[in-house]
């Protein structure tokens, strides 16, 4: 510890603290301009100069460390003069046009000038940029050099927050000028349009183009949670006259001021889109056209039709899907409606097609199917990250940014992915495995770990069971055998196993490359097998970490939108649980487990399911084998869709109900870390859309179940009263915290950042012995190429939301297929050519992207785009335990295509 005195006040701080932070601890404010915590401390603006007794000249507080006995003054005439002089020098670089500047009202330079009484500058700067030259080819961002004060905060933000290093400094005379990558060739740059640089800029030099729509004093800010991926970034919606005009990052626990392009620029155009559904619609049976209806007409029809089908075919003929994009409270009411009114447990959510294998697999082996450790914990200070079938730079970009930074700081990285993803370039080892071979890979890793004597015997003995059985199985998976199955080099497998096992802190992070297979659950259990074998569970910086997909898919499972689970994974099969819910809901409940979402479609083709309520899902676009889904929807007697838009699925509905988006309601989302965070209402839109919870409550009452109207906060209170892992959670408490990670078992319980500490939720961890089984459809003579599917950075699933942002469409607007160079040459296909891709289930036309990104004999497609959606081709083969479809492997044929 170091003792010092600032402005006459004594303080003791840790060694290596800067003067700026020591002063902050005493609540003494030192002005700064180029400094930004964790982003930039180059000390060039000289605003933070302070006097230190005995020092010949002033020193910069932002990057000078404290020394024992220092006596510091942060204010004096000399200091003020120095700061005024510096501001005049800085102003010389800056074209003064404050009246018309977009940053007017939130410019840090002007604020400082005002504080120090500076309004003009006597200096003339030769190197001031050219007026009128604004670099603005990027759809979201623009740079005006004449306003740039060369503070380099943007450079630091791109490097240290985004981990992207897309902005560089260039020499301009005596100064370091900024080369912002937003000119004509911005598409060729590394920039991913995340806007973190613009957020760091203190002046109007580098700004979001949205800024032109408002001045800050005309707006209010609403703190909320991003509606796209489950990273759960926190940000403010900037609202002017009931319209969201911009987004500003917040220092949330998972994002720490970072955002990705979708959160920053793609999270509000869809809210105000003219394509929003505004009124209930009923399909006219004769014309097949939808006609506007009143809420009474629509709700009466929906309630009476479902009750009629129940009477005619029984309660098991009805089913409901919950929306993993909407808040916990909405999902809770949806499953309550299905259970109390449809009187069935045929309720599910799209985790079924996503991470159901994680929910099932980790529940079996560890006792809880959720991510074990927080994002910060597994990306901040760890020795090695093993990333399996996860492309976080595109799918969880703010996690990707934090992984990039970890690698910069020296964390080793093992990437296990059939493709060259962005992070494989940064990896120490990239195992470019054949798609569908995760179980063989994991068994091979464990074989090596045992052979090298790297297994954690103590952990295995005291905390787990089933090891012997597993040992027998992995014995067969020699590096030689695994290298043949997985198409990887033996020595790389051995090196990866040693690197992972020897690292002290080493999390496994995985995603759909593991789950979306007909052996997805076994793939997941193989991940927990590996972690248990080396004792890397229940510890900081370790664990088995599925990155959940949708903003609230964790919540959709937590809220009991599952055919065998009530909220909080309380088992329907457990008699006490069933009785508890019967008592609380005052209703005899159906004790039989329901169908999984992926079983509902075949069941409707067979005539077993007659009525379906789809809340915010678009399976025609997102489920495998589109023809099969359409056939299923056409087989139904009655389909209701509650959505924001006229989706492809809604077109098959009998009734469409317009719900409201995250920006128009209160509630909570649970992110991938199990962190329950608030969603807050920012705007009220014109139209007759209704809260999704009110739609369900209205329907419940019409179907004969007395359900009082509850606010979102009251619904959370009901959830807490019935769900032990949510017992301590309420909106009131969430409003005072950074969100709470369940289990949170009482009002005093702080929440649970790391799971399975000391003891697994299951008691002993269970080693699941899995043998490698091939994917259900492999390439053959007719369909010689293996096709994987997945996502790109700029679009989100169906594109229902991101597709409404013109800039995102400009950057990424149509479908493509990634092909290997050799395959393309053999087929006479060149990069950019149109190709026809067909499988046993359908065919589409798309554009070839030819490179070495995928291996020979393999290909990859996104499913976001209507012009060539991969799901016309994918295989609906299901995993045995979780019923997750095999999106990641099917066999296709590719031919060049001439229009
Ligand atoms: N930009 C964007 N972000 C999203 C979404 C989006 O649509 N767009 N969707 C969200 C949702 S719902 C989800 S679930 C997540 C998904 O996030 P991710 O799972 O990370 O995304 P994917 O692109 O589906 O697949 C990840 C990787 O798996 C690899 N892979 C394919 N087959 C195999 C295999 O057999 N073994 C291994 N080891 N790897 C394999 C692919 O090459 C790919 O790089 O993303 C969420 N975030
Ligand atoms: N080929 C292939 N297909 C895949 C995948 C793959 O990797 N490959 N991944 C799969 C995965 S992981 C997933 S999660 C699924 C996703 O499949 P979906 O859930 O069908 O896709 P989303 O785009 O997330 O659709 C959500 C819908 O919810 C609506 N919505 C959003 N918020 C609200 C709200 O508050 N209220 C109401 N009423 N509606 C709302 C949106 O308008 C949108 O239509 O796709 C799957 N499909
Ligand atoms: S938008 Fe993001 S990636 Fe592009 S320069 Fe700015 S911080 Fe870097
Ligand atoms: S663009 Fe903004 S943040 Fe970057 S150097 Fe110029 S003034 Fe500083
Ligand atoms: S990383 Fe995910 S949660 Fe964060 S801003 Fe991007 S889409 Fe939103
Ligand atoms: Mo997902």
Q: Give the confidence band of 651 by pLDDT, cuts at 50, 70, 90.
A: very high
566 and 474, same domain (yes or no) = no
Q: For the domain that residue 19 is a member of, what is the CATH number?
A: 3.10.20.740
Using the atom order of ligand 3, give the atom closest to the CA of residue 162.
7
Q: CA angle, corner 90, sides to 88 and 95, nearest 5?
A: 95
H/E stretch holding 715 reads helix 712-722
Q: What letter does residue 36 receive in the DSSP assignment? A: B
pTM beyond 0.85:
yes
What pLDDT does 174 receive? 72
Which tokens belong to 39? Answer: 């982003």
User: Cα separation of 557 and 601, whole Å?
Assistant: 20
- What is d(CA 318, CA 350) in angstroms, rounded to the nearest whole number? 17
Same domain, 188 and 237: yes
Domain edge (last residue) among 515, 546, 577: 546
How remote is the CA of residue 182 from the centroid of ligand 3, in Å?
Answer: 9
Q: Identify the domain containing residue 236 by its residue range.
A: 103-112+122-265
> Residue 143 C-alpha to ligand 3 middle, in angstroms?
12
> Cis peptide before 597, with omega less than 30 degrees from 0?
no
Residue 502, both tokens:
């020897």
CA distance 293 to 304: 16
**Listed residue (372, 464, 379, 380) closest to 743, CA to CA:** 372
Residue 472 is assigned to a structural domain of this protein: yes
The reply to whether 524 and 585 lie within a common domain is no
**Residue 124 predicted with pLDDT over 90:** no
Residue 321 C-alpha to ligand 2 middle, in angstroms? 11
614 — phi, psi (to 5°)? -105, 115
Please write the tens of the pLDDT for every residue from 690-703. Answer: 999 999 999 999 99
Region 5-9 average pLDDT:
97
What was the pLDDT predicted at 85? 96
Tens digit of pLDDT for each residue in 713-761?
999 999 999 999 999 999 999 999 999 999 999 999 999 999 999 999 9
Mean pLDDT of 851-868: 96
* Domain containing residue 215: CATH number: 3.30.70.20
Alpha-carbon torsion (392, 394, 398, 403), positive or negative: positive
Bridge partners of residue 177, in order along the sequence: 170
Pocket test for ligand 3, best of 196, 255, 394 (most atoms within 8 A of CB): 196
In a domain, 214, yes or no: yes
**What separation in Å is there between the alpha carbon of 876 and the centre of ligand 5?**
29
Quick one: which of 471, 371, 387, 383 has its CA closest to 429?
387
pLDDT of 175 above 80: no
Element (H, E) at 521: helix 520-533
pLDDT for 128: 65
Question: pLDDT tens digit string along 375-432?
Answer: 999 999 999 999 999 999 999 999 999 999 999 999 999 999 999 999 999 999 999 9
**279 Cα–ligand 2 center, Å:** 22
Chain segment 754-795, per-residue pLDDT in tens: 999 999 999 999 999 999 999 999 999 999 999 999 999 999
Q: Which of 517, 551, 553 is nearest to 437 (CA)?
A: 517
pLDDT of residue 129: 64
Q: What is the pLDDT of residue 177?
A: 84
Q: How many A from CA of 228 to the centre of ligand 5?
A: 6
CATH of the domain at 556: 3.40.50.740
Q: Specify whether the CB–CB gap between 224 and 662 falls below 8 A.
A: yes
197, part of any domain:
yes
User: At 63, phi and psi to the nearest 5?
Assistant: -130, 20
Cα angle for residues 643, 648, 654 (degrees, 5° grid): 65
Q: What is the mean pLDDT of the segment spanning 216-235?
A: 98
Are 471 and 600 within one domain?
no
With a Cβ cut-off of 6 Å, ligand 1 is lined by: 229, 354, 388-391, 394-396, 416-419, 421, 433, 435-436, 438, 511-513, 549-550, 788, 790-791, 793, 795-797, 888
Domain boundary among 723, 740, 768: 723
Give bridge partners of residue 6 from the DSSP assignment: 9, 72
Q: What is the pLDDT of residue 559?
A: 98
The CATH number of the domain holding residue 889 is: 2.40.40.20
**What tokens were used for 497?**
């196993």
Q: Are residues 316 and 375 in the same domain?
A: no
Report, as an integer, the average pLDDT of 602-618: 97
Mean pLDDT of 217-230: 98
Check if the beta carbon of residue 435 is closer than 8 Å to that of residue 775: yes
Dihedral sign, Cα of residue 470, residue 473, residue 475, residue 479: negative
Q: Are residues 640 and 519 in the same domain?
A: no
Q: Is 786 in the pocket of ligand 5 (CB under 6 A)?
A: no
Rounded to whole angstroms, how far apart are CA atoms 455 and 164?
Answer: 37
Is 206 part of any domain? Answer: yes
Q: Name the residue among 504, 254, 265 with its Cα closest to residue 401.
A: 254
> Based on the domain organization, do 391 and 504 belong to the same domain?
yes
Q: Is 152 near ligand 4, meaning CB less than 6 Å away?
A: yes
For 476-513, the pLDDT digits (tens) are: 999 999 999 999 999 999 999 999 999 999 999 999 99
Question: Is the CB of residue 739 less than 8 Å from the CB of residue 678?
Answer: yes
Q: What angle do CA 285, 289, 295 make, to 5 degrees?
A: 85
For residue 851, count CB atoms less than 10 angstroms from its CB and return exposed for 0-12, middle for 13-18, buried for 19 or more: middle
Q: Residue of the nearest CA to atom 14 in ligand 1?
A: 549
Å from CA of 253 to ligand 6 middle: 22
Assigned token pair, 557: 């499972």
pLDDT at residue 334 above 70? Answer: yes
Based on the fold, state whether residues 839 and 879 are members of the same structural domain: yes
Which tokens go with 110?
A: 């002007």
Q: Which of 330, 318, 303 is nearest to 700 (CA)?
A: 303
Retrieve residue 106's tokens.
């939130």
* 734 domain-assigned: no
Q: Is the pLDDT of residue 181 over 70?
A: yes
Last residue of a domain, one of 519, 546, 573: 546
- At 133-143, the pLDDT tens digits run 899 999 999 99
Looking from the CA of 19 toward its CB, the CA atoms found within 13 Å total 27
Considering the domain architecture, whether residues 348 and 375 belong to the same structural domain is answered as no
- Nearest-atom number in ligand 1 for the CA of 441 is 38
Is there a domain that residue 679 lies in? Answer: no
Say whether both 556 and 695 belong to one domain.
Answer: yes
Quick one: pLDDT band at residue 173, thresholds 50, 70, 90? confident
Distance of CA 199 from the midpoint of ligand 3 (Å): 10
Residues 561 and 709 in one domain: yes
Find, among 586, 654, 696, the residue nearest to 338 by Cα.
696
| CATH code for the domain in which residue 364 is found | 3.40.228.10
Determine contact, residues 628/871, Cβ cutoff 8 Å: no
Strand positions, DSSP E, 378-478: 384-388, 412-416, 429-431, 464-465
Cβ of 691 closer than 6 Å to ligand 4, yes or no, is no
* Residues sharing a CB contact under 8 Å with residue 77, sequence separation 6 or more, in sequence order: none
Answer yes or no: is 505 within a domain: yes
> Virtual CA dihedral for 243, 248, 251, 257, nearest 10 degrees?
150
Ligand having the closest approach to the CA of 617: 2
Mean pLDDT of all residues in 212-228: 97
Total number of domains in the chain: 5
One domain for residues 572 and 525: no
User: 690 with 697: CB under 8 angstroms?
Assistant: no
Nearest Cα residue to atom 16 of ligand 1: 549
For residue range 423-468, what is the model confidence (pLDDT) as tens digits?
Answer: 999 999 999 999 999 999 999 999 999 999 999 999 999 999 999 9
619 Cα: distance to centroid of ligand 2 (angstroms): 8
pLDDT tens digit sequence for 835-848: 999 999 999 999 99
Q: How confident is the model at residue 899 (pLDDT cuts 50, 70, 90)?
A: confident
Q: How confident is the model at residue 127 (pLDDT cuts 50, 70, 90)?
A: low
- What pLDDT score was predicted for residue 130? 67
Q: Considering the chain, what is the average pLDDT of its residues?
A: 96
User: Which residue's entry shows tokens 């060694």?
Assistant: 15
- Tens of pLDDT, residue by residue over 20-38, are 999 999 999 999 999 999 9
**Atom 38, ligand 1: which residue's CA is nearest?**
389
* pLDDT tens profile 67-122: 999 999 999 999 999 999 999 999 998 998 899 999 999 999 999 999 999 998 99
Give the E-state strand segments of 347-448 in sequence order: 347-349, 384-388, 412-416, 429-431
Residue among 385, 389, 809 to mutate when testing ligand 1 (max atoms within 8 A of CB): 389
* Residue 612 in domain: yes
Tokens of 426: 């940064």
- Compute the average pLDDT of residues 346-358: 94
């Amino acid at each position: 510890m170091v003792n010092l005195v600032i402005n006459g006040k004594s303080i003791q701080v840790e060694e290596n603290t800067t003067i700026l932070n020591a002063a902050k601890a005493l609540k003494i404010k030192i002005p700064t301009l180029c400094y930004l915590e964790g982003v930039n401390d180059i000390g060039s603006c000289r605003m933070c100069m302070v006097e230190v007794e005995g020092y010949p000249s002033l020193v910069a507080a932002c990057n000078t460390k404290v020394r024992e006995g220092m006596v510091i003054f942060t204010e004096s005439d000399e200091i003020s003069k120095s700061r005024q002089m510096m501001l005049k020098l800085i102003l010389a670089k800056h074209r003064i046009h404050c009246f018309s500047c977009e940053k007017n009202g939130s410019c840090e330079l002007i604020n400082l000038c005002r504080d120090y009484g500076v309004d003009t500058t006597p200096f003339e700067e030769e190197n001031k940029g050219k007026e009128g030259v604004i670099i603005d080819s990027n759809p979201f961002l623009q740079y005006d050099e004449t306003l740039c004060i060369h503070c380099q905060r943007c450079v630091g933000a791109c490097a240290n927050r985004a981990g992207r290093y897309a902005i560089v400094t260039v020499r301009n005379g005596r100064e370091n000028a900024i080369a912002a990558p937003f000119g004509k060739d911005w598409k060729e740059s590394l920039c991913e349009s995340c806007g973190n640089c613009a957020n760091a800029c203190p002046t109007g030099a580098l700004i979001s183009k949205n800024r032109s729509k408002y001045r800050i004093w005309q707006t209010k800010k609403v703190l909320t949670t991003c509606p796209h991926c489950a990273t759960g970034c926190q940000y403010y919606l900037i609202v002017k006259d009931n319209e969201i005009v911009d987004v500003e990052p917040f220092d949330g626990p998972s994002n720490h001021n970072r955002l990705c392009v979708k959160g920053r620029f793609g999270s509000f155009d869809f809210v105000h889109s003219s394509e929003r559904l505004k009124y209930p619609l009923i399909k006219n049976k004769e014309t097949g056209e939808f006609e506007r209806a009143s809420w009474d007409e629509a709700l009466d029809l929906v309630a009476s039709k479902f009750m009629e089908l129940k009477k005619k075919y029984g309660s098991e003929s009805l089913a409901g899907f919950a929306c993993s994009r909407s808040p916990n409270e909405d999902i809770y009411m949806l499953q309550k409606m299905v259970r109390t009114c449809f009187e069935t447990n045929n309720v599910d959510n799209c985790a079924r097609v996503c991470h159901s294998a994680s929910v099932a697999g980790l529940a079996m082996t560890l006792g809880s199917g959720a991510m074990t450790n927080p994002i910060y914990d597994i990306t901040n200070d760890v020795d090695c990250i093993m990333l399996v079938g996860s492309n976080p730079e595109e799918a969880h970009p703010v996690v990707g940014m934090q992984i990039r930074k970890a690698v910069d700081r020296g964390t080793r990285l093992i990437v296990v992915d059939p493709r060259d993803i962005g992070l494989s370039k940064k990896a120490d080892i990239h195992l470019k495995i054949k798609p569908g071979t995760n179980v063989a890979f994991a068994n091979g890793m464990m074989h090596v770990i045992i052979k090298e004597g790297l297994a954690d015997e103590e952990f295995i003995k005291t905390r787990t069971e089933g090891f012997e059985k597993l040992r027998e199985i992995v014995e067969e998976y020699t590096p030689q055998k695994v290298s043949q199955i997985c198409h990887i080099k033996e020595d790389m497998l051995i090196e990866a196993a040693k690197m992972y096992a020897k690292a002290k802190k080493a999390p496994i992070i995985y995603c759909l490359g593991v789950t979306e297979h007909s052996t997805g659950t076994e793939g997941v259990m193989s991940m927990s097998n590996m972690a248990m074998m080396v004792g890397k569970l229940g510890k900081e910086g370790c664990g088995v970490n599925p990155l959940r997909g949708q903003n609230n898919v964790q919540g959709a499972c937590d809220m009991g939108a599952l055919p065998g689970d009530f909220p909080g994974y309380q088992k329907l099969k457990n008699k006490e649980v069933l009785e508890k819910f019967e008592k609380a809901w005052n209703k005899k409940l159906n004790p039989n487990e329901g169908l999984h979402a992926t079983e509902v479609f075949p069941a409707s083709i067979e005539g077993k399911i007659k009525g379906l309520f789809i809340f915010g899902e678009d399976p025609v676009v997102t489920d495998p084998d589109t023809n099969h889904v359409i056939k299923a929807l056409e087989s139904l007697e009655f389909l209701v869709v509650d959505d924001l838009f006229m989706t492809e699925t809604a077109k098959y509905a009998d009734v469409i109900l317009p719900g409201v988006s995250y920006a128009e309601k209160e509630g909570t989302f649970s992110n991938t870390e199990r962190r329950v965070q608030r969603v807050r209402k920012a705007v009220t839109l014109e139209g007759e859309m209704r809260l999704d919870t009110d739609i369900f409550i209205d329907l419940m009452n019409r179907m004969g179940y007395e359900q009082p109207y509850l606010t979102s906060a009251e619904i959370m209170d009901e959830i807490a009263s019935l769900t032990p892992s949510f017992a301590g959670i309420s909106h009131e408490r969430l409003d005072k915290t950074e969100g709470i990670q369940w289990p949170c078992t009482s009002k005093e319980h702080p929440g649970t950042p790391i799971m399975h500490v000391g003891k697994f939720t299951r008691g002993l961890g269970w080693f699941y012995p899995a043998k490698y089984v091939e994917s259900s459809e492999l390439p053959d003579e007719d369909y010689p190429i293996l096709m994987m599917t997945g996502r790109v950075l700029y679009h989100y699933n169906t594109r229902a939301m991101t597709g409404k942002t013109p800039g995102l469409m400009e950057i990424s607007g149509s479908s493509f297929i990634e092909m290997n160079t050799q395959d393309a040459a053999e087929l006479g296909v060149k990069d950019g050519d149109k190709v026809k891709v067909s499988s046993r289930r359908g065919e589409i036309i798309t554009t070839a992207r030819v490179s070495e990104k995928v291996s020979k004999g393999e290909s990859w497609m996104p499913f976001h785009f209507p012009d060539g959606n991969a799901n016309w081709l994918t295989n609906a083969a299901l995993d045995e335990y979780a019923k997750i479809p095999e999106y990641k492997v099917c066999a296709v044929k590719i031919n060049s295509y001439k229009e």
